[in-house]
Structure 1
Amino acid sequence: MKYLLLLMTGLQLLFLPQAHAQEEAAAPKLVEWEYTAEKKNDGTYLLHFKAKVAEGWKLFSYTMSDDDPNTRFTLDSLSDTRAAITGVQEVGDLKTAKEPILDNLEIRYFEKEVDMQATTELKGEPGDIKGVITYMVIKGEEVVPEETEFRFNADPAAGLVAAKAGLQINAEEAGKLKRSKIDLKNPVSKVGGILEEGKGVWVVFLLGFVGGLIALVTPCVFPMIPLTVSFFTKSSQNRKQGIFNATMYGFFILLTYVLFSVPFHIAGAAEPEIFNNISTNVWLNIFFFAVFVVFAISFFGVFEITLPSGLASKADSKANKGTLVGIFFMALTLVIVSFSCTGPILGSLLAGSLNSDGGAWLLTAGMAGFGLSLALPFALFAMFPSWLNSLPKSGGWLTSVKVVLGFVELALAVKFLSNADLVTHWGILHRETFFLIWIIIGLLTTLYLLGFIRFPHDSPVKKLGKVRIFFAVLFGAFTLYLIPGITNTKYARLKLMSGFAPPMSYSWYGNSGHEKGAVEPDVINDYEKALALAKEQNKPILIDFTGWACVNCRNMEENVWTDPEVHALIKDNYILVSLYVDDKQKLPEGEEFLHQFADGRTKEIKTIGNKYATMQSENFINSSQPLYVLISPEEKLLTLPVAYTPNIQEYANWLKAGIDAFEKVKN
């Protein structure tokens, strides 16, 4: 029990920093801390951390071991080079007791208040030091981890002076994000505008539909079609009832998958930027990478992924009822027992939707398409059982489908690792490395389809059928198509892979060779520098709100900006600044702050991505990328902003309208 509680509290502490500002606003701390510094002699200080503990709670002592609940003081990496905590004394009423919830562990704790005094020695010249107090409190069966930041500023006279810890609201920095001169409602020209088109939703719906069709021919789903049809034909008293039951069965399969997207609508309503945060979160992308690799290994037949058997048993027991409730649980049972095959496809759909603009609605569209394509065959075959005779028999071909899906999952896993690599600039998965891995996966898939490679549970390929040859040729041709992507030639720009692979600039070869023809930003990730450059050259600014993991951004850069007319319009007439809203690079210490919105909400601005994502949403009421904005050096909005515009002429006309508008307002 003790170790389970410690594991749970450890997980809470892991995610605590991400929700720090929200938690502070939502509820007061169970322990309030005050800090003071007392100079003992040259270079030695006594830091007082005075704690006021909430009524009924117990604060664990600093003297508790590292393996048990405790209180700890940790300096950040920079402060650690300036100071060292050499000892901690506690002044207060220290109590001891055996705690039943912690396996009768003898705990040492304080109630109401305590002064924890940390002896600190400064190294070299005095400098600001800061850190964090991590501590746990207990009340009855509740063990709660908390943390709070502390800070001491160097003072020439007093030595160290306690200062406000954590990020503070900064009106000056906030003014740099909410630009008062930009008036979204009154551009010089009404050309442009962000159209709310449904094309993206329908594309994702169709992708989901195709995913459902693929799931149908997997070993977990295909054999269930005749079993389900047999159930309906035997249980229906007449044809009319059979058709009704089959229709409701299909509807409930569709409904089950659509309901999966509901929580994401709730989360998106609470925080519009959540989908961008999810899609570019480093650890989440690494998690997807690991999960997809596990799914691939499972598809190769090494082991089987299943949901808990109890869940399937409960759903199956309720499915025996001959009512709508029973039909619903039959549909739910199908969803559960087929998870080992549908899970990887659904995972691709989930991750792909959250990586796209549109968030929850795209996910709903994809899940609806998946559910519909999975539901239709079951419903139709239940209505017309004689059609079953036209279905191919189950056999080794189902295993082959599963193995090919395993290779596809491996390729998708590389994409998620690439997302994490791009936003952190690790440099481990350049464009050519990405293509090289995909080429190897494509070659292995082709060899498998041709019978040169076998996996566990595979039957020997005695004769290559037409379908197998077709897919072998398809994968082989695609593999050959990828090969120029690893070269330093003009052929390296692969149009089909635009936006999916890393950008051309993220290359083994740097910005040389095949990068010719691309539009290089005049300024990257610094709006103030772009503004100064625009005033110096008396040119308008093209703001490019983009993202390292943004597919449509790469499509625009590699297929629209490379057009000779568009290239010339941007290069000759605009100062181009690219602002990456998913850049995880930390801002310099003095530039971090707490941004307050008009409705009172606050948001921590700690990274370059935080800064420009907030700037985009505050000024242009939009959180999707790409977003293109044209302004004068005095920040007069020249046209209405535009989003993803794959039509080259339409985008060129918008740029020309910005030039004409600038002529009307320039000095």
Structure 2
Amino acid sequence: MKYLLNLLLFVLFFINSISAQVLEPVKWNVSVDKVSNTEYNLIYTADIESHWHLYSQNLPEGGAIPTEFIYDSLSKTNDFKLIGKAQESKSITKFDKVFQMDLTYFDSEATFTQKIEILNPSITSIEAEISYQACDDKMCIFESELVTFNLPATAPKKQSNIIDPVKWTSEAKKISETEYEIIYTGLIDDHWHFYSQIEGEDMGPIPTAFTFEDSEDYVLLGETSESKTKTVFEQAFQMEVRYFENQAIFKQRFKILNPELKSITAEVFYQACDDEKCLAPTVFEFNTSLDGQAQRTEVIGLDAASQAKSEALNLGVTGWDNYKKEAIAKKSNFTIFFLGFLGGLIALLTPCVFPMIPLTVSFFTKSASDSKKGLANSILYGFFIFLIYVLLSLPFHVLDSLDPEILNNISTNVTLNIIFFVIFIAFAFSFFGYFELTLPHSWSAALDNKANSIGGIIGIFFMAMTLAIVSFSCTGPILGTLLGSSLTSDGGAMQLTAGMSGFGLALALPFTLFAMFPKWLNSLPKSGGWLNTVKVVLGFIEIALALKFLSNADLVKHWGILPREVFIGLWIIIGIGLLLYLLGKIKFPHDGPFKKISFSKGAFIFLVAAFVVYLIPGLTNTKYANLKLLSGFPPPLPYSLYEKDSECPLGLNCYKDLEAGIAAAKEQNKPIMLDFTGYACVNCRKMEEQVWSQDKIYQILNDNYIIISLYVDDRKELPEAEQFKYIKANGLVKKIKTIGDQWATLQTVNFQNNSQPFYVLLNHDMELLNHTTAYTPNEDEYLEWLKNGLENFKK
């Protein structure tokens, strides 16, 4: 057998010697990914021809030759050192009849990533040799190839929060005199992925899409093909999805009609996600040369106007070393936890949940063989109820977008806000009793059956699941409110988890406590018409909240259908409707006979009436129109039916055009305050209506600063002549089509931040006058920040 194997290897070597001049089944590309100031990932990408395969680094002795990466400079210098062994992309392991052993190899493509640490700061490149064996069904070849990694320049001092997990390359292959195939390769960072082109569900992930310019110079031959994807069930979308990890390869064939054509332009639209979050969809533009030159994350041949406008976005801000970069503390989640807890308490008073307290407690106390076991089971039951609601929030962490190019993606997305508006209106009419939102009866029946048939801890868990499903028709609208408000806030998924935790805790506590102390059940009020009253009140609240989402869409698109006074007027009408219902003047389908008003109901009527009266000044054009307690809910003060002297908050003099604002600052010799804001930004409204409205702060802003308010979510398109393509430092292209695109990009380019509100104080030479700041509800702190910037300007 040994001699036979040697003879076989000799034959393979002989075949290789006569074929090496023409066979090149593996093509290598290399790139560098900077991990830190001293650590880099060296990335080797192999494009493997059909029917060929490349072997792994990790093979048993006596078989095929493994792939190996050799760094000659390691033995000669101390410029860098390897950290561990090169990591491989997903491979295939099968029994090889030739070598009579299991061998690991790659089909179509392979990626190897070697992490290194730089020891010599002056090193600019690293050379390596790739030694590998590739085989098909008939022959094998043995090759070595020298490659060079050019290390990127040292990063600037300012740290960036911008995430860019996909690096793109493209290369054209000539098939015949008139046909070409272009290969588009996406190299994906560890733990990240993006989706297949054939994700077809409306509510699923955003599929990758390639678009090509309409041209008379070529025609497309077939569809864009893609490499193998991974199919998994994603909780976030409740469906199976297909996505790429490590590397994605797309191929498109072209028939060339114009022999003079030098390159082909294409765009790829994709969304990258990791286990915790998704970036907003990104567009990358290719301009692939037909002469075989590979394009590596760079854009070729953009027009001079785009180049100039891209450069103009960089303000050249200086003075970073004079001030500590502010560490913006994340907002506490305690408030939304408390609101979730309050929502859970409200859910207890609904007809779906309240009657289940005595039923489930009775079940657990009777099923326990002794009091200690009954106590333990009731505690475990309460814990499972809490856990179920916490787990419901976890899938939404993948939706917590941090893409700096499309800010406030959820809160300013018109379609999503309209969907929330419609859902909340449906919830409201469900609460009014016109129809009932329920999950399929088979779900609750199946779970109830499992709870009775499966003993121990698993049975208790299914009882908790039964409660969650049976009570859905009442808890669903409350959870929908929590979901909508949390995902449109700055805290995103973390605030949603906090809110769901509070909701689950409030729902679980009574079941646990009444199981511990069954006699308390006698003190519970009996089910009756009061439960339906609670549902109807919640219906009125749902309609009020629905208007907030419609207002978000209206603000962003400038429809003008919900100005501030119309919004407040509708809330007043809703409040009056609620008062009439509580007083028995209007009724809904499931209401019983009107009963005498109790003390608690009378107190609630008084609170509703007081709230309606509080809203009335909001309809006027006076200083009392600023309803500070509701800052962030109604549209901003300038978005009004009344003619305003200024379109700026509180009637301040501000500019919405950067160049005009800078020119005014120079003319009046005043410092500049850049105000990065958004129409749908709740904290921006709170700052304007609660902090800026204070006399001392208002005076210093009005008299001593030029405010330039830049709305990053403004969807109004720029004039066609002013639209351009922005080239980022990594070579990606962002199309600047709207006013919001322009200001959002300017913020990330100059300040490496994409949150709002965000405030910057500058002099006329674009030098910082103080550290940047964000949401600052403390009036004294914000005033001191403004005063300090003014003093530095005068110096």
Matches within 5 A, 1:593-612: 593-598=724-729, 603-612=734-743
Distance 1:469 1:178, change over 3 A: same
Counterpart of 2:709 in 1: which secondary structure?
strand
- Residue in 2 that maps onto 1:53: 222
**Which residue identity does 2:321 align to in structure 1?**
N
Partner of 1:495: 628
Give the aligned residue type for 2:670: K
1:33–1:49 contact (8 Å) kept in structure 2 = no
Task: Report the counterpart of residue 368 of structure 1 in structure 2.
Answer: 501
More strand by percentage: 2
| Superposition pairs of residues 77-156 of structure 1, within 5 angstroms | none
* Conserved? CA contact 2:404–2:744, under 8 Å: no
| 1:254 maps onto 2:386 in alignment | yes
Which protein has the bigger helix share?
Answer: 1
Q: Please state if 1:546 is matched with 2:673.
A: no
- Residues 298-313 of structure 1 correspond to what in structure 2 (within 5 A)? 298-313=430-445
Match runs of 1:406-425 below 5 Å? 406-425=539-558
Instruction: Tell whether 2:338 aligns with 1:203.
Output: no
Based on CA coordinates, which of the two structures has the bigger radius of gyration? 2
Deviation per CA, 1:183-231, whole angstroms, max 9, x where unpaired? 6x424x55x93541543x1111111111111111011111111111111
The answer to whether the 8 A contact 1:276-1:354 is kept is no
Mark the CA change 1:517 to 1:632 in structure 2 (over 3 Å): closer, same or farther: closer
Aligned mate of 2:215, from 28, 31, 35: 35
For structure 2, the 5+ residue unaligned runs are 1-196, 227-251, 259-264, 268-282, 288-299
Of 163, 173, 179, 2:309 maps to 173
CA distance in 2, matches of 1:521, 1:131: 44
1:315 to 433, 442, 447: 447
TM-score, normalised to structure 2, is 0.62
Deviation, structure 1 residue 56: 8.7
Q: How many residues align?
A: 544
| Number of the residue aligned with 2:154 | none
Unaligned runs of 5+ in 1: 1-8, 37-47, 58-110, 118-129, 133-146, 152-163
Of residues 606, 611, 623, the one that matches 2:754 is 623
Change (3 A) 1:328 1:510: farther
Aligned with residue 560 of structure 2, among 403, 415, 427: 427
**Of 310, 321, 324, the match for 1:186:** 321
Which of 535, 538, 550 lines up with 2:666 in the alignment?
535
User: Which residue does 1:99 correspond to in 2?
Assistant: none
Q: Please tell me whether residue 580 in structure 1 is matched to residue 711 in structure 2.
A: yes
Give the distance between the partners of 1:277 and 1:399, measured in 2 at CA: 37
Query: What is the TM-score of this pair, normalised by structure 1?
Result: 0.74
Amino acid at match of 1:35: S
Contact 1:258 1:368 survives alignment (8 Å): yes
Note the C-alpha offset of 1:488: 2.4
Task: Note the alpha carbon deviations across 1:608-663, whole angstroms, 9 max, x for none.
Answer: 22332333334334333211111122211221122222222221111001012223
1:238 maps to which residue?
370
Give the match's secondary structure for 2:650.
coil
Residue identity in the other structure for 2:680: A
Q: Deviation digits for residues 352-372 of structure 1, max 9, x if unmatched?
A: 112222222111111111111
Distance in structure 1 (CA, Å) of the matches to 2:760 and 2:722 = 25
What's the offset of the Cα at 1:534? 2.6
Paired residue for 1:328, among 461, 485, 501?
A: 461
Give runs of aligned pairs for residues 271-350 of structure 1, distance below 5 A: 271=403, 276-320=408-452, 321-350=454-483
Shift of 1:314: 3.6
Which stretch has the larger CA shift, 337-346 or 589-598? 589-598
Larger RCO (CA within 8 A; separation ≥ 6) = 1
Aligned residue in 1 for 2:53: none
Note closer, same or farther for the CA distance 1:480–1:168 as it changes in structure 2 (3 Å cut).
farther
Distance 1:398 1:580, change over 3 A: same
2:782 to 636, 642, 651: 651
For residue 633 of structure 1, what is the aligned residue in structure 2? 764
Contact 2:331 2:491 in 1 (8 A): no
Given that residues 194 and 641 in structure 1 are in contact (C-alpha distance below 8 angstroms), is that contact kept between their aligned partners in structure 2? no
Question: Are the aligned partners of 2:405 and 2:741 in contact in 1 as well (CA < 8 Å)?
Answer: no
- Residue range with higher mean Cα deviation, 354-363 or 398-407: 354-363
Aligned residue identity for 2:713:
D
1:506-556 deviations in whole A, cap 9, x for unaligned?
Answer: 11112159x9992524211x3233233333433221111111112221122
Q: In the alignment, is the contact (CA less than 8 A) between 1:545 and 1:626 conserved in 2?
A: yes
Quote the offset at 1:263 in angstroms. Answer: 2.5
Q: Is the 8 A contact 1:315 1:333 kept in 2?
A: yes
Distance in structure 1 (CA, Å) of the matches to 2:495 and 2:404: 14
Distance 1:255 1:275, change over 3 A: farther
Q: Secondary structure at the match of 2:675?
A: strand
Q: CA deviation at 1:471?
A: 1.4
**Secondary structure in 2 aligned to 1:578?**
strand
The secondary structure found in structure 1 opposite 2:495 is helix
Pair 1:631–1:33, CA change in 2 (3 A): closer
Equivalent position SS for 1:577: strand
Determine if contact 1:519/1:562 at 8 Å carries over to the other structure.
no
- Residue type at the aligned position of 2:665: A
Query: Is the 2:712–2:739 Cα contact (8 Å) retained in structure 1?
Result: yes
* Residue of 427, 443, 456 corresponding to 2:589: 456
2:652 is paired with a residue of what secondary structure? Answer: coil
1:170 Cα deviation after fit? 4.5
- CA shift at 1:115, angstroms? 9.2
CA contact (8 A) 1:32 1:52 kept: no
User: Contact between 2:284 and 2:733, CA under 8 Å: does it hold in 1?
Assistant: no
- Paired residue type of 2:518: P
The answer to whether the 8 A contact 1:315-1:330 is kept is: yes
Q: Distance in 2 between matches of 1:403 and 1:630?
A: 50
Contact 2:678 2:711 survives alignment (8 Å): yes
Q: 1:241 to 1:498 in 2, by over 3 A?
A: same
Structure 2: distance between partners of 1:621 and 1:421: 29
1:123 aligned residue: none
Q: Deviations over 1:275-312 (max 9, x none)?
A: 82111111111111111111111111100001233333
> How far apart, CA to CA, are the structure 2 residues paired with 1:633 and 1:607?
26
Q: Separation in 2 of the partners of 1:540 and 1:312?
A: 64
Deviations along 1:107-160, one digit per CA (max 9) or x if unpaired, are xxxx9777999xxxxxxxxxxxx999xxxxxxxxxxxxxx99999xxxxxxxxx
Q: How does 1:69-84 map onto structure 2 within 5 Å? A: none
What is the distance in 2 between the residues matched to 1:166 and 1:245? 68
Query: 1:56-105 CA deviation, whole Å, 9 max, x = no partner?
Result: 99xxxxxxxxxxxxxxxxxxxxxxxxxxxxxxxxxxxxxxxxxxxxxxxx
Contact 2:677 2:711 in 1 (8 A): yes
Q: Give the Å deviation of 1:437.
A: 0.8
Deviation of the 1:441 alpha carbon: 0.7
